[in-house]
Structure 1
Amino acid sequence: MQQQPNSSLIVLIGLPGSGKSTWAAQFGMNCPEGRPGYRTVSTDQIRADLYGDAAIQGSWGQVWARVIDQLRQGAADIHRGDLTGVVYDATNVRRRDRRRFIQTVHALGYPTVAAVWFDFPLSCCLERNRARSRQVPEAVILKMHRQLVATQPSLSEGFEQIWRMGPARLP
């Protein structure tokens, strides 16, 4: 990635173990001094808050309601100048879900939506997942991988920009 994303909403896309949450935490800490930062809306954190453990999937309706509440609050804070933007930290592997999400956030008042796509090899994500204390079942990651390979992120979904993160590629 040659420059930092500059959008009111940044959608993270990638498999579990691809580095989305780590990137979000680092990105949030790298705002220039005197400039309002970015807030992260994380479905894992919402699950931990609701159910006491991020691994408990729980009711998607409850999780989604919290996502919308946090996004609505983020839009209000951006409008007041208290925040530069919001990072949405979830896997976002299905194109139809990403399109619906973009429509929803535009209605909430986010004028621009960018994506950061964590395009790391499946083997790397599986290895990182095995090293975690909270592991996602491999069958779930394999299904997500198939979905993401079939519907790679594109500007036609409504993103202003897409940054592709991945291992260094040799010429």
Structure 2
Amino acid sequence: METPYAPGSLVVLIGSPGAGKSTYARRHFPTGRLCLDDFREMATDEAADQSATPTAAQIQNLLLDARLARGLTTVVDSTNVLPHVRAGLLARARYYQRPAVAVLFELPLADCLARNNARARQVPQNVVRELHQMTPTAEQLAAEGFASIRTIGLCEPARR
């Protein structure tokens, strides 16, 4: 499947739970999707077990390094709303001399909450609200050093 991203790119999905990041990743990237939820589930049999996040992050970073070293396009499918998380991803992309692309999911909070409520595994509403509020702007992402930023809104194919 063709994507609008240069081969070997690090594609960082950014947005609150319920924004459509995983749906977008599955549709556009049949391989190379790294998802903390999946790694938490592998470690504990429960994707929502936040106590497994350090282990999941280690697994993600190991696979991320392996893929970037080989020049393979890699998608980081998690909220990525925290600046220090994005800084670490950008540092890895720079180390391997790969372009870092941000895909920013800018959906209204009400839509994210509605999508979250329709899921089998729901994130607590207060967490969705907090992470939605922490979502950076495209301008912030550009200042951080992303090579390009794509914004996904309600009319984009991320919609379920």
Q: CA deviation at 1:167?
A: 1.8
- In structure 1, the partner of 2:134 is 147
Letter in 2 for 1:121: P
- In structure 2, the partner of 1:156 is 143
Q: CA deviation at 1:6?
A: 2.6
Q: CA deviation at 1:98?
A: 1.3
Q: CA deviation at 1:101?
A: 2.4
Task: Identify the match of residue 99 of structure 2 among 82, 87, 112.
Answer: 112
Q: CA deviation at 1:106?
A: 2.3
Q: CA RMSD in A?
A: 1.9
Letter in 2 for 1:54: A
Secondary structure in 1 aligned to 2:29? helix
- In structure 1, the partner of 2:121 is 134
What CA deviation, in whole Å up to 9, does each residue of 1:52-79 have, x standing for no partner? 121111233212111111101212332x
Q: CA deviation at 1:97?
A: 2.6
Measured in 1, the distance between the counterparts of 2:70 and 2:29 equals: 15
Task: Identify the match of residue 73 of structure 1 among 54, 66, 78.
Answer: 66
Measured in 1, the distance between the counterparts of 2:86 and 2:33 equals: 17
Secondary structure in 2 aligned to 1:12? strand
Kept after mapping to 1: 8 A contact 2:17/2:116 = yes
- In structure 2, the partner of 1:62 is 55
What CA deviation, in whole Å up to 9, does each residue of 1:108-139 have, x standing for no partner? x1421001111111100100100100000001
What is the aligned-residue identity percentage?
A: 32
Q: CA deviation at 1:163?
A: 0.2
Letter in 1 for 2:79: T
- In structure 1, the partner of 2:5 is 5
- Show structure 2 runs of 5+ residues with no match: none
- In structure 2, the partner of 1:33 is none
Secondary structure in 1 aligned to 2:50? coil
Measured in 1, the distance between the counterparts of 2:54 and 2:23 equals: 26
Q: How many residues align?
A: 151
Letter in 1 for 2:81: V
Task: Identify the match of residue 52 of structure 1 among 30, 45, 50.
Answer: 45
TM-score (norm 1): 0.81
Letter in 2 for 1:167: L
Kept after mapping to 2: 8 A contact 1:51/1:58 = no
Secondary structure in 1 aligned to 2:146? coil
Measured in 1, the distance between the counterparts of 2:65 and 2:115 equals: 33
Kept after mapping to 2: 8 A contact 1:15/1:91 = yes
- In structure 1, the partner of 2:91 is 103
